[in-house]
Amino acid sequence: MTYHCHTDNGVSLMAFTLPNFNLLCNIYTGPWNTAVLRIADQACNLAFSKRVAHFADFPIENESTQLMYLLLPPLVDIRSTLCGYIADSVEVPSGSGRIYFVAAVDDIGKGFSNEHRCATLLSASEPKFGTGSEYNGLFWPTPIP
């Protein structure tokens, strides 16, 4: 669906497209080694932005890492540390073994008909977070599905 923003005189300023939620993901809560599946098979869209790599300084191991974006329908209960919780972990697509750490969550198009939620993700694994971390023993599948 495409939505248009109009001025008072009816002139179209720009179009906003609601994402196609073409994948399913599993949302886990709590530290990964004791995580509980909170939402199974949630419709989502795994995005890389507009094919422009966004990197963030990663506090563990002084590493820089590529960010991914998980687009979700409005108001999906997905949590980051910004909410004062232990951040959720997400498996995208469901059953793939590709686990991500939820770094941040916010809404896109809030209050408009194309509103949806965006979670900023970091790939999660023992090599990324370090031995002894909550992701101890977690490795991404090889090859990546």
Bridge partners of 107, per DSSP, are 117
Structural contact between residues 105 and 72, judged by C-beta atoms closer than 8 angstroms: no
Query: Which has more pLDDT, 84 or 6?
Result: 84
**Tell me: the pLDDT tens digits for 35-68?**
999 999 999 999 986 655 555 555 554 455 678 9
> At residue 4, does pLDDT exceed 50?
no
Considering the four listed CATH numbers 3.40.1360, 3.40.50, 2.60.220, 2.40.10, the one that applies to the domain covering 19-129 is 2.40.10
Query: What are 63-121's pLDDT values in tens digits?
Result: 556 789 999 999 999 999 876 778 999 999 999 999 999 989 999 989 888 999 999 99
Nearest of 142, 144, 23, 137 to residue 90 by alpha carbon: 23
In total, the chain counts a number of residues equal to 145
Single pTM value for the model: 0.79
